[in-house]
Structure 1
Amino acid sequence: MFPPLPCFGGSGCDPATSRRQHQERKMRMLTYWRDGVERQLAAVNAAISTLEKQIARDGTPDQG
C-alpha cells in the first residue's frame, strides 16, 4: 500500500501511535474502495436480473 506519513512533532510521534494512525487511514481507504465495488456489483446484479427477466419473457419462439 502506501508508506506511513512521517511524524513532524507533536504528541503523536511514538511508533505505536503512528502505526495505529496509518492502519486507520488504510482501513478508511479500503472501506471506501469496497463501498465503490459493492455499488458496481449491485448495478451488475440488477442488469443481470433484468436481462434474465427479458429472456424469460421473450423466450417463446416467434411464429413468423
Structure 2
Amino acid sequence: MFPPLCCDSGVDQASRRRHHQSRKMAMLSFWRDGLERQLAAVTAAMDTLQRQIDRDAQSDS
C-alpha cells in the first residue's frame, strides 16, 4: 500500500501502523467478499448445468 500523503507529527508511528493495517484488512475483506460472491455464482451455475445434464441423460434412456 502507499504511505500516507501527509504525515501528522502528532500521531505516533504505532498508531499510524495500526490505522494502516486496519484499512488494509478492510480492503482485503472487501476483495474476499467479492470473490466469494463470484465463486458462489460459478458453483450455482455448475450445479444447475450438472442437473440439466443428468436430466437429459435420464430422458434419453
TM-score by length of 1: 0.80
Structure 1, unpaired ranges of 5+: none
Flag the structure with higher helix content. Answer: 2
Q: Residue type of the partner of 1:56?
A: D
Partner of residue 25, structure 2: 27
Aligned to 1:4: 3
Return the alpha-carbon distance in structure 2 between the equivalents of residues 32 and 17 of structure 1. Answer: 23
* Structure 2 residues without counterparts, runs of 5 or longer: none
Counterpart selection for 2:54 from 53, 56, 59: 56
Amino acid at match of 2:17: R
- Please, what is the CA RMSD of the aligned residues? 2.0
Structure 1 residue 22 displacement after superposition: 0.3
Q: CA deviation at 1:3?
A: 2.2
User: Which string of whole-angstrom CA distances, capped at 9 and with x for unpartnered residues, describes residues 14-50 of structure 1?
Assistant: 1100000000000000000000000000000000000
